[in-house]
Structure 1
Amino acid sequence: LIAGLFGNNIGRSGEHTVTILGVAASAVLSAYVLYGFIEGSRGKYDENVYTWLTMGGLDFSVGFLVDRLTAMMMVV
C-alpha cells in the first residue's frame, strides 16, 4: 500500500525496500504464530469482528479464525 501510494515520492529503491520489509515482517510474524502452535503455548483464535447481517434466527458474522492449519498455511 505504501509502495503503491507513495512510489513516486520514495523512488524505485524505496518501493523495493518497503515491499521487502513488509514481506519479511509478515514471514516473521507467521513463523512466530506457527511456533506458538507447535510449542503448545497458543490456542486457537476465533473472534467475530462484527455482525454483517441478521435475518430471523441467522447471524452472518465477519471474523477471524487462526488454528494450526491456518498458521501452517500462513507460513507456506
Structure 2
Amino acid sequence: MIRKLVFFLMLIALVVFPETAEAQCAMCRAVLESEESGRAAEGINNGIVYLMAIPYVLVAGVFYFVYRKMRS
C-alpha cells in the first residue's frame, strides 16, 4: 500500500511541477536559442511536456481500470 501511495504522489508531483521535467525537440531548441528573452522557449518547453504527459496518463488510467476489473 505504501508503494502505491509513493508512486501516486510522484506521478502527481510530475504533473503539477512540469518545470522539473525539461523536454525540448532539437528543431525547437535551435530556433528558440536565437531568442534573447527566452519566454517563448519556456512556453514551447512547457507545451511539449504537457503534450507528452497526457497520453501516458490516459494509458495508465486504462491499465488501472483493466487491472481493477481483472482483480474483481
TM bucket (normalised to shorter chain) is 0.3 to 0.5
* Greater fraction of residues in helix: 2
Q: Whose radius of gyration is greater, 1 or 2?
A: 1
User: TM-score, with normalisation over the residues of structure 1?
Assistant: 0.44
